[in-house]
Amino acid sequence: MFRVVLWLLTTSMSRSAVSALAFVLPGAVIVAVRWLGYRFAAGNPRAAHVRTVVYWFPSGS
């Protein structure tokens, strides 16, 4: 995911597109984290989503 964001930031995008991405991305991360918290609170976490958060995001994939 971070590689995609980095690619988008380094390509010849207009400044407004980069600003839009920077505006939307934090909200998307917050929604994903809250959804995972809901799944754990409900007692039904999905292993694939846990692996995504634990392994992919810190590694920059």
What is the C-alpha separation between 38 and 9, in angstroms, rounded? 32
pLDDT of residue 47: 58
Which of 20, 44, 52 shows the shortest CA–CA distance to 61? 52
Question: Helices in the chain by DSSP H: which ranges?
Answer: 2-10, 15-41, 47-51, 57-59
pLDDT of residue 20: 73
Q: Please report, in tens digits, the pLDDT of each residue of the chain (61 residues total).
A: 567 666 666 665 566 766 777 777 787 788 787 877 777 776 666 655 666 666 555 555 4
Q: 3-class SS at 44?
A: coil
pLDDT of residue 61: 46
What is the C-alpha separation between 31 and 27, in angstroms, rounded? 6
pLDDT of residue 60: 53
pTM value surpassing 0.85: no
